[in-house]
Structure 1
Amino acid sequence: MSLWTQLTGTNYSISHDPVNGALTRVLRAGEAPSGSGREAVILLHGTSGHLEAFVRNVPVLAERYEVHALDMLGHGYTENPGGDLRIPRYVQHVIDYLDARGIQRAHFIGESLGGWVSGRLAADHPGRVGRLILVAPGGTVANPEVMDRIRTSTRAAVTSDDRALTRRRLELLMHDPSNVSDELVDVRHAIYHRPEFVAGIDALLCLQQMENRTEDLLTPEQMARIQARTLIVWGAQNPFGDVPEAHRMQQSIPGSALEIFPECGHWPQHEHAEKFNKLALEFLA
């Protein structure tokens, strides 16, 4: 099934919105007339990713919520006006988007880097976050082996035209590589080879450098400040973080819950979309 045929029957739009000097690609779905009372859900993807990471989730979420899936700063088709992409910049970009749309408070579903950003946003701006779903979130440890795996696999796929390297980068995310469709490879390969993306790859990968990562880590003290009701979703075979990491995060965020998906890698929302969607709707409700 095509990525986009999964959205058949869903009222959605894709736009490139100016957000404080950065044109930002956004997929919006489930929008209702002003005053309808529909709550907003913000979807944030992982390192070198893009909003298509959530295409299996948007239709279900949009039945009840106003969904906003963003290409984060310097990712996908969203611009980076310049400079390294560090956590405070990602957080500010999301805040600027909320302000531009007049959204005072939203629920957040953040995967990997998106979970890191969502967690930091919830810690620093508690009034802007309703409920929080952190999907295989990064940013609580600085593991040189994992950082090198992310850095080298991404750079290889970006600097070579070999589609097999892009596929290999995506297969790193999955327990079952059959979840990497030819179309998903095509989408990411096209993004990776945009001249703007190639030129900005060092800025995008700066959090895989130890000095930057350690400064921006989501610390136990920050997680203890999170007031939003929080659900952590983790894959038992997550290649970028072992299960004990998830348990430590759950212990650090007051009142949080943890769900570990068996036979699952770094994209629970994609590999086990039906299970994830049911869990997310129950939690957000």
Structure 2
Amino acid sequence: MTLDRPFATQHETLWSQIADRAHVLEFPEIAGTRTRVLRVGEENAGRGTILMLAGTTGHLEAFTHNIRALSEHYRVLAYDYPGHGYSTLAEGSLEIKDYADHLLALVDHYGLEKPHLCGESLGGWIALKVVPEHPEVFGSVILSAPGGRMIPPAKLNGTQSVSADAVAQPTWENVKRRLGVVIHDEAAISDELVAVRQAIYAQPGFVASAKAIAALRTPEVRERNAVDDSDYARQPLPTLLVWTDNEPSGSPEVGAHLAELLPRGRFVLAEGAAHWPQWERPDVFNTAVLDFLESLEA
């Protein structure tokens, strides 16, 4: 029997989508960070693991509309970075090496064999940097509107201002406005997503953690961590790049150009989305990921 769903997919909660699936939410200590990790689809571990990496100031709920579909075929492991979500908050500054070292420790902690990295925004940035240095560790790369390129300061500062307001005063309106930076259609921003992020931003210590996260937005730090065309050209593994028609950092032509640089790349354009194709177009995203991974098994 097919249920009649009177609301858009984007408004389904994470719980409503995985409540009938065996799953584990845990907080192991990984590289000195108490790390929030969600595991779903352990019965499919033999086919491989999809390791999901969210964006800047993000959290595992960014993949709410992907976890079930992907975990029906593979084991899915989603987690919160250091300084993010409900993992240990941070002080000082966080750079790509910090995230990459934690990622490698997480892979070792769970004994993962060649997991498929699925990174959106900051997650894609991390993947683009860590995979060429450790190609033997991973199986493939899935990039969802990856970040990390140098972009005009005015555009970066505008985004940073909205983010800073949401962290300093995590009202419903400010947090929803922050999510509007990455989601094209305001109607696709669910109450659950706003509520979860509002609670995360309201944690004691998150203001300092947000400053540590924002280090990558300062010009000098961003420049030494930045992604350029050479990072795409040196990717050794099969790579799927999912771009959108409203991506803030560049047009569909920019995405197609980056995909052409990938030695073993595949390109998918998700229309009607901005910086979160996995959220706004889960139908396109989930199908593209499963087709890509299945092609590697053929």
Partner Cα distance (2:122, 2:67) in 1: 19
Aligned residues of 1:12 and 1:28 also touching (Cα < 8 A): yes
1:166 to 1:221, Cα distance in 2 relative to 1, 3 A: same
Partner Cα distance (2:280, 2:104) in 1: 29
Quote the offset at 1:82 in angstroms: 4.1
* 2:183 corresponds to 1:209: no
Partner Cα distance (2:155, 2:95) in 1: 18
**2:227 corresponds to which residue?**
218
Q: Structure 1 unaligned runs (5+)?
A: none
Moved more, 241-250 or 152-161: 241-250
Partner Cα distance (2:180, 2:91) in 1: 30
**1:232 corresponds to which residue?**
241
Partner Cα distance (2:233, 2:167) in 1: 37
Percent identity over the alignment? 36
- What are the residue-to-residue correspondences of 1:99-138 with 2, within 5 Å? 99-138=108-147
Partner Cα distance (1:214, 1:31) in 2: 39
| 2:253 equivalent among 226, 230, 244 | 244
1:100 to 1:7, Cα distance in 2 relative to 1, 3 A: same
Moved more, 181-190 or 82-91: 82-91
**2:22 corresponds to which residue?**
11
**1:24 corresponds to which residue?**
35
Partner Cα distance (1:21, 1:225) in 2: 31
Quote the offset at 1:80 in angstroms: 4.3
Q: TM-score, normalised by structure 2?
A: 0.90
Quote the offset at 1:241 in angstroms: 3.2
Q: TM-score, normalised by structure 1?
A: 0.94
- The total of aligned residue pairs comes to 283
* 2:61 corresponds to 1:52: yes
* 2:171 corresponds to 1:162: yes
**1:144 corresponds to which residue?**
153
Partner Cα distance (2:160, 2:29) in 1: 29
Aligned residues of 1:142 and 1:210 also touching (Cα < 8 A): no
Quote the offset at 1:243 in angstroms: 2.7
Partner Cα distance (2:158, 2:252) in 1: 18
Partner Cα distance (1:138, 1:129) in 2: 20
Q: Secondary structure at the match of 1:28?
A: strand
Q: Which amino acid aligns with 1:170?
A: L
**1:276 corresponds to which residue?**
285
Quote the offset at 1:171 in angstroms: 1.5
1:161 to 1:60, Cα distance in 2 relative to 1, 3 A: closer
Q: Which amino acid aligns with 1:72?
A: Y
Q: Which amino acid aligns with 2:109?
A: A
Aligned residues of 1:43 and 1:109 also touching (Cα < 8 A): yes
Aligned residues of 1:10 and 1:62 also touching (Cα < 8 A): no
Quote the offset at 1:81 in angstroms: 5.3
Q: Secondary structure at the match of 2:149?
A: coil
**1:258 corresponds to which residue?**
267
Report the aligned-residue RMSD. Answer: 1.6
Aligned residues of 1:150 and 1:208 also touching (Cα < 8 A): no
1:109-150: per-residue Cα shift (whole Å, max 9, x none)? 100011111111112111112111100000122331232123
Q: Which amino acid aligns with 1:52?
A: E
Partner Cα distance (1:172, 1:54) in 2: 17
**1:171 corresponds to which residue?**
180
| 1:92 equivalent among 78, 98, 101 | 101
